[in-house]
Each structure stands twice: as C-alpha cells, then as structure tokens.
Amino acid sequence: MTRKGITVDEARAFLREVAPAPVPRKIALRKALGRVLTAPVVATRDQPPFDASAMDGYAICKSLTDPVAQSAPLKLIGESIAGKRFEGRVEWGQCVRIFTGAPVPDGAKAVVIQENVRHTDHGIFIEADGWNDPKTHIRPRGQDFKAGHELLSAGLRLDPWRLSLAAAAGSKSVTVARRPRIAILSTGDELVAPGDDPRPDQIFESGSFALMAMCRQWGAKAEFLGVESDDLDGIHDAVKACEADLIVTIGGASVGDYDLVKPALERLGLTLDFSSINIRPGKPTWTGTLANDQRVLGLPGNPASAMVCAQLFLKPWIEAALGQPEPPQPHRLPMASDISANGPRETFLRARIVTDASGQPTLKPFADQDSSLIAVFSQSDALIRRPANAPALQRGEMAEYVRLDRYI
Ligand SMILES: Nc1nc2c(c(=O)[nH]1)N[C@H]1C(S)=C(S)[C@@H](COP(=O)(O)OP(=O)(O)OC[C@H]3O[C@@H](n4cnc5c(N)ncnc54)[C@H](O)[C@@H]3O)O[C@H]1N2
Ligand code: MOO
C-alpha cells in the first residue's frame, strides 16, 4: 500500500536505500575533479622519497653547536640540486651547495641557509646566526606520507586538494563511481522558457535550472526533458523513452485537476512507494518505480518546495549512488531571532547565517516563508529544521540546520 505523510528521516533513508550501487570507472586523474572514489588511493612511495632540503643553502655534516668547528671555513665539494643529488659524502670541514627540494647528501646533518654564509678566499664561512639556528632545514623522508598508507579512502569526493594528493602519490588514474544519470521534466501549462514570450497568465520556468545545477553540483549527470503542458499524453511520451537512472518531475504533484504527472506515469506502470511527506514546504513529494524499474522522484512545483526537497531527498539518493557515506548530521547554531512553535509538519525555514555583535554566526530566518519565493531562496545559506510540534525558540537558543551548497 502506498504510504502517505511519512517522516523526513524515513524518506531520506528510503531514497538512500533504493539508490543503485556505485558502478566503478577508471578515469584519468586530470578529469577526476568532483568524482567520488570507489577504491582508495594508496601511496606507493614515501614522500619525500629522500631527506630533502627545505631551504637554499649549504649542507654540512657537523653539529651546529660544535664550538671547535665554528671557527674554520668549510671547503665546498659539490652541489645538490632538486632532481640531481650530490653523489658523494660530506665530511667534517666540508659543505655542499644545496637548493630547496634537493636530496640531502650522505653525512649531512643540517642545512645552513645562504643568508647566514659568507664566501671567503679560504672557503665558506658560516656566520654566528647560522651556527645558532636551531633548525636543521631538513625534511625527513616520508614526512608527508609513507609508502603503503591509504591517503584517500573510497567514498571521498575529489576536490582540488585531494587531486593534488593523489597526484603526489603517483596516481595517473583513479577509480571513481560512474555519475548517475538524472532526467528532469517540468510540467505545467503556465510555464514558458526564460526568453520566450509569456502570455499574461504565464510565468518563466525556473525550477529546472536549480534542479539541473544541483544534480551536477552533487556529482550526477543531468538531462533536461523539457517543459510539458498538463497533458497525459505529453508527460507520458516525454518519459517513455528516457534511459536515466532517475527521473525527477517538477510540478503536478498535488491533488488539483491538472496535477497529472502520476496519472500519466501510471500508463508506464508507476507503483508508488510513498505519495507525501510530513514536511513544509514540499508535502506532495512522492516516489515510485515504473514497470521497467526506473525510479521517479516527484517534486512539487512551488520553487522552494522543489529545492528544499531536492536538498533533503534527491541529494541522499545521489550520494548513495556515488558511494558516499551519509554526511554528519546535524549542524547547530544559535538563533538570531525568536521563532514560534511549529505545527504538526516538520518545517524547513529558509535562513541566512549572519554574525552577531560578538562575531558568532547565528541563524536568521526570512520573515516570508511562502513556498513560491525564489528571491528568498537565492539569498539563503541554510534551512532551519523545525521538528514537528517543536516548541518556540528564543534568540540565542540553538537550532538545527542544513547548510546549503552556495558559492560564497
Ligand atoms: N487542495 C490542495 N491544494 C494544494 C495542496 C494540497 O494538499 N491540497 N498542496 C499544496 C502544496 S503543499 C504544494 S507544494 C503545491 C504543489 O503542487 P504541484 O506539485 O501540483 O505544483 P503545481 O501546481 O504544478 O505548481 C505549483 C506552483 O509552482 C509553479 N511551478 C511549477 N513548476 C514550476 C517550474 N518548473 N518553475 C517555476 N515555477 C513552477 C506553478 O506555476 C505554481 O505556481 O500544491 C498546493 N496545493
Ligand atoms: O508544502 Mo507546499 O510545498 O506548502 O508549498
């Protein structure tokens, strides 16, 4: 039997559970930004692979605090540069010119920086500051990481810093999850593409722009099936030939006479898992499968409802399909203003994160939480989570929130 009014947590868990298992793909590291590892990156070598100089200077073999050695100039016996080591050994009374990143020669115990050295007719003379420098300026072999260490584990998403680590470990390619394919369909007679000529009773279609971008931002491939009018045949035909792993519909989710998405998909064997969630905004959110086992997630048309529910239910599906673990929950911050007690529907309030007089970040909900408001969403940093029947909160009290993935 189709379930109605399930909880937000139940719906999130369900969407994670029904997501397809990640499919591994080997790809070039250069193309791996934003992809999720399905196999760990393991160091095949120590980094650095040798004791390396951290500075430009002179490698010497003796203790920096040896008072006898300090008086005499040192004989320069060679050079160690990054990529070409000095092959010999440094002995007492000798030094080797060395540059940052170069292997420290055998026998050397420290590098004296060149600012603390004077060239004399008798050799290299180390100034008192050089002798008194407590640092060796040597990076020991394996300081960064050691051969055999798991540097990046499966389930991690590759960002610029992780890409760099994989490269430093010598990985030319990485094994990542195939990006799940998501097809998005907008429905409604009132919708025209931005730039087209709307009739007076029409509006510009905007929901798919958020949804496509969210899918891509979260690591999926997104395809737009277009805008269909409220017409059974049109909706059926748009979805019929679609090969995506998930079909997301926007609009036509509710109970109105022209909310036709579910009736149109019944012709393709739609079986519903649940038909609504106990949430505001986004109550008519539903999911089910077609006869060919393709999953459909139906989002309500109101832009805030669609975006909140994409954040809460589509994102977990994508994360699971990519093999990412559940992100840590919840985050909490103090409220910047009072909020009243919540009703029986779990509620997500669009809010900004603002710093108070003491520099502490706080949650400031927008006064108008109507689910049609696109401008409010465009300024929001977070969704404040208000459990069903939660009591009123006063300014300064802690509230749970979901951080939105905004560019700063
Ligand atoms: N009698 C009832 N009416 C409504 C109920 C209810 O329980 N009983 N639920 C309300 C709730 S809650 C929501 S949310 C909306 C969602 O309804 P639909 O999913 O059927 O959405 P539509 O009617 O198609 O559209 C709602 C609204 O959003 C605009 N829209 C739709 N798609 C887009 C898009 N791609 N881009 C921009 N804007 C879009 C549309 O023009 C409407 O203004 O139902 C309530 N009604
Ligand atoms: O829950 Mo609807 O999503 O109120 O706007």
Which pLDDT band holds residue 70 (cuts at 50, 70, 90)? low
Phi, psi of 342 (to 5 degrees): -95, 155
Name the residue at shortest CA distance from atom 4 of ligand 2: 281
Work out the mean pLDDT of the chain and round it to a whole number. 95
CB distance 259 to ligand 1 below 6 Å: yes
Which pTM value belongs to this model? 0.93
8-22+178-321 under CATH 3.40.50.300, yes or no: no
Name the residue at shortest CA distance from atom 33 of ligand 1: 301
pLDDT at residue 329, as a whole number: 80
Which pLDDT band holds residue 23 (cuts at 50, 70, 90)? very high
pLDDT tens, position by position, 343-397: 999 999 999 999 999 999 999 999 999 999 999 999 999 999 999 999 999 999 9
What residue ranges do the domains of the chain occupy? 8-22+178-321, 25-42+151-177, 52-139, 331-403
CATH level 3 topology of 331-403 = Beta-clip (2.40.340)
For the CA of 285, the nearest atom of ligand 2: 3
Q: Which amino acid is at 47?
A: Q
Phi, psi of 4 (to 5 degrees): -120, 150
pLDDT > 60? residue 64 = no
Distance 271 CA to ligand 2 centre (A): 23
> Per-residue pLDDT averaged across 132-160, rounded?
96
25-42+151-177 — its CATH code? 3.90.105.10
Inter-residue contact 279 to 388 (CB < 8 Å): no
pLDDT > 60? residue 408 = yes
CB distance 190 to ligand 1 below 6 Å: yes
Residues with CB under 6 A from ligand 2: 280-283, 300, 302, 305, 371
C-alpha torsion sign, points 222, 227, 229, 231: negative
pLDDT at residue 406, as a whole number: 87
> Per-residue pLDDT averaged across 7-18, rounded?
98
Ligand nearest to the CA of 345: 2
pLDDT at residue 67, as a whole number: 60
Query: Which of 235, 302, 347, 369 gets mutated to test ligand 1 (max ligand atoms within 8 A of its CB)?
Result: 302
Phi, psi of 169 (to 5 degrees): -80, -5
Which residues 6+ apart lie within 8 Å of 171 measured at CB?
A: 29, 41
CA–CA separation, 57 vs 33, rounded Å?
38
pLDDT at residue 51, as a whole number: 98
pLDDT at residue 63, as a whole number: 64
What residues are paired with 288 via a beta bridge?
A: 272, 296
CA–CA separation, 288 vs 294, rounded Å?
8
52-139 under CATH 2.60.40.10, yes or no: no
Phi, psi of 234 (to 5 degrees): -60, -45
Distance 302 CA to ligand 1 centre (A): 5
Name the residue at shortest CA distance from atom 23 of ligand 1: 252
For the CA of 187, the nearest atom of ligand 1: 32
pLDDT tens, position by position, 292-343: 999 999 999 999 999 999 999 999 999 999 999 999 888 999 999 999 999 9
Identify the CA nearest to 401 among candidates 345, 339, 351: 351
Ligand nearest to the CA of 302: 1
Question: Which tokens belong to 140?
Answer: 């020991």
pLDDT > 60? residue 10 = yes
CB distance 384 to ligand 1 below 6 Å: no
pLDDT > 60? residue 198 = yes
pLDDT at residue 254, as a whole number: 86
Question: Which tokens belong to 253?
Answer: 């989710």
ipTM above 0.90, yes or no: yes
